[in-house]
Amino acid sequence: MRGLACILMFQTHCYDAWLGGDSRKTTFFMWSQLGGTLPAPLFLFLAGISFALVTDKLHRKGFPAAQIARTTIRRGAEIFALGLLFRLQEYLIAWGWAPWSDLFRVDILNTIGVSMMLMGAVCGLVLSLVSSLGQRFRARSSLGVTALGVALGVSLLTPVLWTTWRPGWLPWPLESYINGVHNLGQPQPWLFPIFPWAAFAFAGLAVGFFLLSDWGREREAVTFVLAGVGGIGLTYVAHWLDLRGPQIYPVYDFWHTSPNFFLIRVGLLLMILSAAYAWCRWGAGQWGFSPLVQMGQTSLLVYWVHIEFVYGRFSILPKRVVDIRTASLGLLTIFLSMLLLSLLRTNLKGRGEGVWRWFREPLRAN
């Protein structure tokens, strides 16, 4: 699924960065950008599932709740620090024309890091309560229900935190983590604030604990099929609510803050999760080398590198002037280059000491 997120991310960024003129007015470009609504939810959703796996493993090993919280929050802080480092790198590379405010842009890595820290705090609190209440309460179900509640709460609060309840009393670098206001006076849809994006991470956390439940482990295939069926149902229900449900918000923005759009995307994520399971267990994922699986193993690296060759100073094509054919060739180049980079990273992982030793031998001989 991370590999699929990388592919969708590449095509969205490439066509957005390079297409120009009438090419930006085509149906092709519209569908390209619509596909771009999935990569960020996929990355956050998968971060939540991975977080559930780690938390469950630590809990089964007998780690106390406070230690589990510290361990997971620390990992989230590391991702957040990488997000800040990425922003600093981009600012330095673009020195001279990038505004200083870019250093405080809330990007996807920042949000993943913050979401992981929030999940660590929530899981630590729930596990502490479960421990104090005794064996009558199951940890996994308690964690899953709480995560689901937080996801829905974040989604439901998003419309008002972007409009009537905006925390304008906060400095804009802090408010931007709430609603993506940046320094532009109003929330920006191209940023990744906690509301609504952290909701996808908590949705993944809830799904992760469902998959790890005793019932889910004993009926693995059925569990993933149910996830797909549930995703279809959730999508239809959310669409029906958007068309006929009561309007409770003073300002309604379907594409950016609507809880119904959040539910539709969660439904799509569940369908993708089910399809990915079928692909890996019964489909082409069993045939041998898979570019999607390979790319997914190094998603952070290819995300970090491709941005500079698409949007940055070293873009391989001129920005916003080329046609669909040229941009598609550029996309193919980016995909193959990032796949090669991913393979190099995987094959060289853990061999740094050996490579360094090989390099030093001629120097010692001389």
Complete DSSP assignment for 217-245: HHTHHHHHHHHHHHHHHHHHHHHHHHHHS
Q: Give me the pLDDT at residue 355, please.
A: 43
Most confident by average pLDDT, 95-99, 106-110, 275-279, 294-298:
106-110
Q: 322 phi and psi, to 5 degrees? A: -95, 165
Q: Give me the pLDDT at residue 187, please.
A: 95
Note the helical H segments in the chain.
2-18, 27-35, 39-60, 65-93, 108-133, 139-161, 172-179, 194-212, 214-218, 220-244, 259-281, 291-297, 299-310, 324-348, 352-365
Q: Give me the pLDDT at residue 356, please.
A: 43
Q: 319 phi and psi, to 5 degrees? A: -80, 135
Determine which of 75-89, 104-118, 344-358 has the lowest per-residue pLDDT on average.
Answer: 344-358
Determine which of 44-58, 155-169, 340-354 has the lowest per-residue pLDDT on average.
Answer: 340-354
pLDDT value at 365 more than 80 = no
Calpha distance 166→168 (Å, rounded): 6
Calpha distance 147→205 (Å, rounded): 6
Assigned token pair, 286: 């069993």
pLDDT tens, 315-352?
999 999 999 999 999 999 999 999 999 999 988 875 54
How many Cβ atoms sit within 10 Å of the Cβ of residue 295? 24
Q: 312 phi and psi, to 5 degrees? A: -85, -170
Q: pTM, whole model, 2 decimals?
A: 0.91
Assigned token pair, 353: 């000491």
Q: Give me the pLDDT at residue 139, please.
A: 86
- Across the chain, mean pLDDT equals 90
Q: Give me the pLDDT at residue 195, please.
A: 96
Q: Give me the pLDDT at residue 239, please.
A: 93
pLDDT band at 261 (very low <50, low <70, confident <90, very high): very high
pLDDT tens, 282-296?
766 666 778 888 888
Determine which of 27-36, 134-143, 346-355 has the lowest per-residue pLDDT on average.
Answer: 346-355
Calpha distance 77→69 (Å, rounded): 12
DSSP state of 24: G
Q: Give how far Cα 20 sits from Cα of 49, 270, 321, Å.
A: 38, 35, 4
Calpha distance 167→155 (Å, rounded): 17
User: Identity (one letter) of the amino acid at 204?
Assistant: G
pLDDT value at 155 more than 80 = yes
**Percentage above 90 pLDDT, the chain:** 72
pLDDT tens, 189-202?
999 999 999 999 99
User: What is the arithmetic mean of pLDDT over 174-202?
Assistant: 95
